[in-house]
With several copies, the nearest count.
Chain A
Amino acid sequence: MERIYFDHSATTPVDREVAKVMLEYMTEKFGNPSSVHSFGRETRKAVEEARSSVAALLGAAANEIFFTSGGTESDNLALKGIAFANRKKGNHIITTAVEHHAILHACEYLEKQGFTVTYLPVDENAMVSVEDVKNAITDKTILISVMFANNEVGTIQPIKEIGQLAKEKKIYFHTDAVQAVGNCHIDVNELNIDVLSLSGHKIYGPKGIGAIYIRKGVKIESTQHGGSQERKLRPGTENVPGIVGLGKAAELAKIELDQRISHLTNLRDKLINGIQEKISDIKLNGHKEIRLPGNVNISFFYVEGESLLLNLDLKGIAASSGSACTSGSLDPSHVLLAMGLTHEVAHGSLRLSLGRGNTEADVNYCLEVLPQILERLRSMSPLNANSKLAANNPCSQCDHH
């Protein structure tokens, strides 16, 4: 059976060219960039070239880019590194309720360390209000962290406006752009971004590598201690193949960006429209227009996400869900709940995240299969348009959990 991959927000395949250059830096050019000899010098050069490629994608300077092990580490470094380095200035951080767990759990950790965190609410489209950000600022605020685009529902936040506000108030502005890089035009200067996180494996680059952009002059301290790599901000032998792969992926993202955006937007809209035409009792999650070009997130009433996913998987389609059952936690997606969805609607959410390798045929196949699956699952469900949903009742079975 042919497999169709609609889970690019979870991870992307590594581009062939990227893999090829990585292979070269594993077996042939394997030196440690800190070494004085020729093996070291050739990898040092490659690392610095990759740094320039990543910088170019963001409109940054090469010496403002630092390599990490991924989006999670970049997020942790941004939050903790800035919080601890600027503790004397203040202890207040502003973020949103719909951030990735890398941000939310780092914030919870910082709260235990004496910081105060404001988690801004979002509207029904998962959009943060600039006014809310403004009102949350106190004279103790040292950092605002708002994600560029949401990983679940794709909503793109008013980054430029928040950045402008932060700049005026002289507060550092970090954005988790893990989902946005390679999918949106980003210029850190135009958008007033001080610190930005990105991850290799979301842009057809390798897993286990990420980067953080840190505007020159931003006060930040390292969270990992050791050698003097990455100007001591991020010690540890450089992951040269990962870095070189990320550099190549960034290069490709820059070249292909416009083409990717139009291709994905086209497929996305076709998929959304098709589902809306063919299937009733659904809800599109996230902002209608201001969303990631490849993101489709829809709640299908009366069914549960995991069983939907498994049925799609049996038909060869890989997707994702905001259902608690797929997250290993008991509550469904904190993003969907923050948008005001009821638990049962959140449980029935499906995320189809498209990538550059997807085709119209993939979309058509999905539109053929999905209605059949929905019909089957709904026929098995005790819920329907007429059932009194227990959403607002206390959960009588929670002791089973």
Chain B
Amino acid sequence: MYTEKVMDHFTNPRNVGEIENANGVGEVGNAKCGDIMRIYLDVQDDIIKDVKFKTFGCGAAIATSSMVTELVMGKTLDEALKISNDAVAEALDGLPPAKMHCSNLAADALHEAIKDYISKKGK
């Protein structure tokens, strides 16, 4: 069902946890839907210095969360904003069709976190 990469990220998820003083936090999903992803960012000079996640969800949800944190670690916000859900799925060598639209929300969570950072900074 899942690719080896998905199982790797599911079994050994990277960057699990919270960032105490995160300057950007994004959450998507809903317990009702079976997936909640929360991304914490530590942004310094428009660069993602640190990123962590907490996820309630299926294998795909956890793996995509983990993968997105790997993909953006150390990237600029502009680069990070260009990462799509599809790109995350691709980086995992694909997801089962049923999971593509259900549990592939990690990039959205990331973008929410970046928006949160920008809006906080704007204030």
Chain A–chain B contact at Cβ < 8 A? yes
Chain A residues in the interface with B (C-beta under 8 A)? 36, 41, 44, 302-307, 310, 314, 323-326, 328, 330, 332, 342-344, 347, 379-383, 389-391, 393, 395-398, 400-401
In the complex, B42 has a CB within 8 A of chain A: no
Picked from B38, B60, B105, the residue with its CB within 8 Å of the CB of A397 is B105
Smallest Cβ distance from B54 to chain A, in angstroms?
Answer: 4
Chain B facing A: main interface SS: mixed
Q: Ordered nearest first, which 8 A-B pairs have the shortest CB separation?
A: A344-B31, A306-B58, A325-B58, A343-B32, A382-B54, A382-B38, A347-B34, A381-B56
In the complex, B13 has a CB within 8 A of chain A: yes
Contact between chains at A343 and B34 (CB < 8 Å): yes
Closest A residue to B59 by CB, please name it. A310
Picked from A382, A396, A398, A401, the residue with its CB within 8 Å of the CB of B56 is A382
Residues of A within 8 A of B88 (CB): none
Contact between chains at A307 and B33 (CB < 8 Å): no
Given the complex of chains A and B, what is the CA–CA distance between A398 and B30 in angstroms? 9
Contact between chains at B31 and A401 (CB < 8 Å): no
Contact between chains at B61 and A41 (CB < 8 Å): no
Contact between chains at A36 and B1 (CB < 8 Å): yes
Smallest Cβ distance from B37 to chain A, in angstroms?
Answer: 8
14 A-B contact pairs sorted by A residue (CB < 8 Å): A302-B56, A304-B34, A306-B58, A330-B33, A332-B34, A343-B31, A344-B32, A347-B31, A380-B55, A390-B31, A390-B36, A395-B32, A397-B35, A397-B105
Residues of A within 8 A of B103 (CB): 325
Closest B residue to A378 by CB, please name it. B56
Contact between chains at A381 and B54 (CB < 8 Å): yes
Residues of A within 8 A of B62 (CB): 307, 380
In the complex, B44 has a CB within 8 A of chain A: no
Given the complex of chains A and B, what is the CA–CA distance between A140 and B7 in angstroms? 53
Residues of B within 8 A of A400 (CB): 28, 33, 101-102, 105, 108
Q: Which of A44, A305, A343 has the largest count of B CB atoms less than 10 A from its CB?
A: A343
Closest B residue to A348 by CB, please name it. B56
Contact between chains at A379 and B16 (CB < 8 Å): yes
Smallest Cβ distance from A154 to chain B, in angstroms?
Answer: 23
Smallest Cβ distance from B97 to chain A, in angstroms?
Answer: 10
Residues of A within 8 A of B56 (CB): 302-304, 344, 381-383
With contact pairs A36-B1, A328-B98 given, residues A307 and B10 touching in the complex (Cβ less than 8 Å): yes
Contact between chains at B31 and A325 (CB < 8 Å): no
Residues of B within 8 A of A328 (CB): 98
Interface string of B88-111 (1 = CB under 8 A from A): 000000000011011101001000
Residues of B within 8 A of A395 (CB): 30, 32-33
Residues of B within 8 A of A44 (CB): 1
Given the complex of chains A and B, what is the CA–CA distance between A396 and B11 in angstroms? 29
